[in-house]
Amino acid sequence: MYTKIVTRNVSNKTEENRSKMENLMNVNATARKLRELRDAKHMSAAKVAKEIGISPSALLMYEAGDRVPRDTIKIKIANFYGQRIGELFYGQ
């Protein structure tokens, strides 16, 4: 018996929005700035991550430019470092 599998192209608004935000954001500049801010505080990734409420590996991925934080995490990171979100993540 032959079964035809039909797939639909389902738009995921969250992923579309994230992709748009990544385009606005200079990921490499943001990653570099995050690392510089942590180094200036003389704190380990584990300590900063604990304060922010994320895993150390997530923080290190943000600092390497391998991953872009969700908006809620961007707020926590900006607050922790005393930075404006636009300044830290969008160079504004």
- The whole-number mean pLDDT for each consecutive block of 10 residues of the chain, a chain of 92 residues, reads 50 62 74 96 98 97 94 97 93 80
pLDDT of residue 26: 85
Domain contains 20: no
Domain contains 8: no
Number of domains in the chain: 1
Domain contains 64: yes
Q: Which domain holds residue 70?
A: 28-90
pLDDT of residue 10: 47
Contact partners, residue 68, CB within 8 Å, separation at least 6: 18, 21, 22, 25, 27, 62
Output the six-digit token pair for 85: 């979100």
* CATH number of the domain that residue 38 is part of: 1.10.260.40
DSSP secondary structure of 7-66: ------HHHHHHHHHHHHS-HHHHHHHHHHHHHHTT--HHHHHHHHTS-HHHHHHHHHTS
Give me the amino acid identity at 15: E
Give me the amino acid identity at 7: T
